[in-house]
Structure 1
Amino acid sequence: MYRHSLRKRVAIAFALCVAVLSVVWGFAFFAAIRLSEDRVLTQQLQLAANSYPIMPANMRSYDTTAGLPAQLQAWALTNPAVGLYEFEAEELHVAVVDSGNERQRAFVVFDVSGIEAASSEDWWLLLVITGVVGTLGVLGFGLGVLVMRRAVAPVAQLAKAVADIDVEHLSMDDYKRIASSRFGDDEVGVLAATIEKMLERISAFVARERYFTGSASHELRTPITVITGALELLEQSELSTSDMKALDRVRRATLDMRTTIEMFLCLARETDDGLYQEQFFVRPLVSNAVELQRHLLSRKLVDVEIDYLANPAVNGHPQAFAIAVNNLVRNAFEHTLAGQGPVRIRIDEHELLVTNQLSNGTDAQYSPTEASSRGYGLGLGIVQRLCERNGWSFTLRADEQRVVARLSW
């Protein structure tokens, strides 16, 4: 349980990291200053010890320009302003002071030869400082990562819990892993509570979907079965020609209704007992679809040409494939006008082509939704969904005066 919100914890972690790094850097710079100070005093003392018993006179004052060291006299004649000056080549530090005489300056010269470190020592000192700075930087980075990781740990914990959930097979352990009570009342707790409610809604939806498809499968098929049985009894009685035509229309409407029910139930099912991996042959399904829809061409004098170039075996849902083929064949038969045949169906190793003639000249490729709006059949959108569910591909192309539906696998 966390007492503060995620935003406040991140701010506190950042402030803590900055404060710790600032303190560490402050101690590092203070230590460097003290080290430099001790080093200068040590060098001065060592120089004095080496000159014992004569004390080195490396700091002297001069009231006149003529008394200055020869290398400084030309510079002193330029009447420099009061201040401090350094001459690296001569290893001299000079302080120009006001002597009270407007025409004459006083000089204090500090000879640092033997006190300043050699260049090689400077490089070693720079290397040591760089190493210390690098080490502090790495430690600071590690500290920042550690602090920020602790600050966002609830978010990572919630993300891992959500990633481990199998939405299709929810269990009580899944609900326990994302229980909002585990994450407090901050932003992470609100997010966990939202995800928890969403999972509850998904579970309820899946339960309703399974109940609906199970009930609808029985309740919708039963009337169709009753109607089909009644039609078979009527066929055995003596009927007039007009009654036979009406009976034939009822039979076709019943068949269309059965196909529609099977199609929507197939789309509504979330799972279908592994039928999406069943292997089946394409040729029998195509032949059956042509025979079922042939009545649509009875008065159009349109031929059907079927090229069986192969008899491929396809993995997927056989009922879904049969529904898709029935839709394509029915659309082709319905939208072929009298005398504009033939309707060509070609089966290759990896695709099925259904081609029919149009009365208008076009040259475009449409999506299933666009094709439905142009009158090529509302079932094409359903065909597209069935193909997506099974990993097949479906395209519809209107070229010149033809419509070519392509179903590939």
Structure 2
Amino acid sequence: MNTCCAPKTRSFSRFVRNYVLLGLVITLVLYTAVLNFYMLYGKWMVAAFQLQLIAEQYDDQLARNPDASLPKGFNIETFESFDALPAELRAYAKPSDLEIDELFYINTDNYADAKNPDNPIFLVFPHQAVDGREILILQTYHAGDGDSVFFERLHKLAWLSVPFAVIVIGIFAWFLWIIGKRLTEPSEHLQDWANNLTADRLGEEIPDFGFEELNDVARELHRSVDQIDKFVAREREFLRQASHELRTPVTIVSGNVELLEKSPLNQTQARVTSRIKRANRNMQQLLETLLWLGRDNAPLGQTETINFSAFIEQEISDLSYLTEGKHVSCDFIPDSRETEIATSPAALMIVVSNLIRNAFQHTPKGQVTITLTGTEVCVKNTILTCNGQCTTPQGEGIGLQLVRRICERLDWSCTPTHLPNGGMLVCLDPGSETRVERKPELVEN
């Protein structure tokens, strides 16, 4: 069978592990990015929170002491007006740039003609105190502070987040492998059990696969196999009984016809007896075919060496009664009358006779041409009543259906082709391996 275009199947365990691991990687990448953003740029967020906290603490002091001094500390000063701010800050900012309770940030190093680590960085937090005054809390850094011990350690801590993420991925992957194995082992166990479930093991107890859903699937599989086994048993019993019940009347008819032939018969009685004999023979062939198709791997008779050409001629002669009363002619064209094949006579008789009978029966007026080329025999019926205008192909009937099934069982080639005139061309080839090569005879001088 050609598997180049077959759909690819997926492993359930691999599917679960891959998607969970993918979700983990995406989560850790996002977490690492957010962590680095917070460490590298979050210091300004921390500064805003710190200055706001200082402003709220000042409001608490004013509530207790109206004369409380303005907040002041390490690199932090407080001013009551914009004009009181350092001149370097006022050179790059305007009063309209400041909003109450919003951090204002400006790096004067970006505006300087030359980079200098002493260029100040200003963080201004405007705030309206509880007494109605507007104060400006100023925190000052310098451009060179990025090389300080604090920021150096902050950058190192940010880089540590990368190996941390890798370690977490490794630990989680190992944990995921353990969980995935625990999850997929029951399904793999179910698969092995289903593959080995046969009729002989139906009496065994259904294993526990650890999950209710898998146990339900196992019970359903067991029930289906049990039903199929019972159905096959009924079919075998039917075939056994049918073999006896159907063979009995066929044998009785055959025996009585033989007795009748021994009696003196007139022409009409002889013709009727001949028809009964042929019909009984066809019934016996059909019965053997049906019984054989109903048995798996059953051989259909012994292999014998058969003269293929003579065999076909005999079948044409036996079935010629089907053309009586019809304007049908039959031509047999063999390429050689010495072609011999080694196969089952019963199988070959059933197939060839069905092909010829199908052609005779479905040709009300016309010609049947049988061509033998090597081991390939082609049966073609040309229907003259259609005048080349038939568009509906003739039905195959049970004959060709039996031929198809027999050829499938014996690995024979059978190719039917519908013709425009309503006829059909069927080519049968039992195979080159069935051909018997004749050894040249020695001629004595």
Q: TM-score, normalized by length of structure 1?
A: 0.68
Other structure's SS at 1:193 match: helix
Q: Which residue of 2 aligns with 1:161?
A: 193
Q: Which residue of 1 aligns with 2:232?
A: 206
Larger Rg: 2
Pair 278,203 (structure 1): closer, same or farther in 2 beyond 3 Å: farther
Q: Which residue of 2 aligns with 1:257?
A: 283
Q: Which residue of 1 aligns with 2:124?
A: 94
Pair 120,293 (structure 1): closer, same or farther in 2 beyond 3 Å: farther
Q: Distance in 1 between matches of 2:94 and 2:210?
A: 80
Contact kept in structure 1, 2:376 and 2:428, CA below 8 Å = yes
Contact kept in structure 2, 1:357 and 1:402, CA below 8 Å = yes
Which of 363, 366, 372 lines up with 1:347 in the alignment?
A: 372
The offset of 1:253, in angstroms, is: 1.4
Pair 156,307 (structure 1): closer, same or farther in 2 beyond 3 Å: same
Q: Which amino acid aligns with 1:85?
A: F
Q: Which residue of 2 aligns with 1:331?
A: 358
Pair 84,347 (structure 1): closer, same or farther in 2 beyond 3 Å: same
Q: Distance in 2 between matches of 1:363 and 1:150?
A: 66
The offset of 1:248, in angstroms, is: 0.9
Report % sequence identity: 24
Q: Show CA shifts across 1:33-76 (max 9, x none).
A: 9x969x98xxxxxxxxxxxxxxx954444455455444311245
In the alignment, is residue 400 of structure 1 matched against residue 425 of structure 2? no
Other structure's SS at 1:87 match: strand
Contact kept in structure 1, 2:122 and 2:138, CA below 8 Å = no
Which of 89, 99, 106 lines up with 1:72 in the alignment?
A: 89
Matches within 5 A, 1:6-405: 58-63=75-80, 65=82, 68-79=85-96, 80-82=98-100, 83-88=102-107, 89=110, 90-98=120-128, 105-111=135-141, 113=143, 115-116=145-146, 127-137=159-169, 139-140=171-172, 143-144=175-176, 146-147=178-179, 149-151=181-183, 153-165=185-197, 170-172=199-201, 176=204, 179-183=205-209, 186-273=212-299, 283=309, 285-300=311-326, 302-309=328-335, 311=339, 319-337=346-364, 340-341=366-367, 343-349=368-374, 351-358=376-383, 359-361=385-387, 362-364=389-391, 366=393, 371-372=394-395, 377-391=397-411, 392-400=413-421, 402-405=423-426
Contact kept in structure 2, 1:312 and 1:349, CA below 8 Å = no
Pair 408,70 (structure 1): closer, same or farther in 2 beyond 3 Å: farther
* Worse-superposed segment, 386-395 or 92-101: 92-101
The offset of 1:249, in angstroms, is: 1.6
Q: Which residue of 1 aligns with 2:62?
A: none
The offset of 1:205, in angstroms, is: 2.7
The offset of 1:257, in angstroms, is: 1.0
Q: Distance in 2 between matches of 1:244 and 1:208?
A: 43
Pair 221,99 (structure 1): closer, same or farther in 2 beyond 3 Å: closer
The offset of 1:301, in angstroms, is: 6.4
Contact kept in structure 2, 1:384 and 1:394, CA below 8 Å = no
Q: Which amino acid aligns with 1:347?
A: L
Q: Distance in 2 between matches of 1:224 and 1:278?
A: 25
Contact kept in structure 1, 2:39 and 2:158, CA below 8 Å = no
Count of aligned pairs between the two proteins: 353
Q: TM-score, normalized by length of structure 2?
A: 0.63
Other structure's SS at 1:95 match: strand
- Flag structure 2 segments of 5+ consecutive residues without an equivalent: 1-15, 44-72, 111-119, 431-445
Pair 204,108 (structure 1): closer, same or farther in 2 beyond 3 Å: same
Contact kept in structure 1, 2:75 and 2:141, CA below 8 Å = yes
Q: Distance in 1 between matches of 2:360 and 2:348?
A: 18
Contact kept in structure 1, 2:78 and 2:136, CA below 8 Å = yes
Q: Show CA shifts across 1:2-29 (max 9, x none).
A: xxxxxxxxxxx99xx99xx8xx98xx89
Q: Which residue of 2 aligns with 1:10?
A: none
CA-atom RMSD in angstroms: 4.4
Q: Which amino acid aligns with 1:386?
A: I
- Flag structure 1 segments of 5+ consecutive residues without an equivalent: 1-12, 41-55
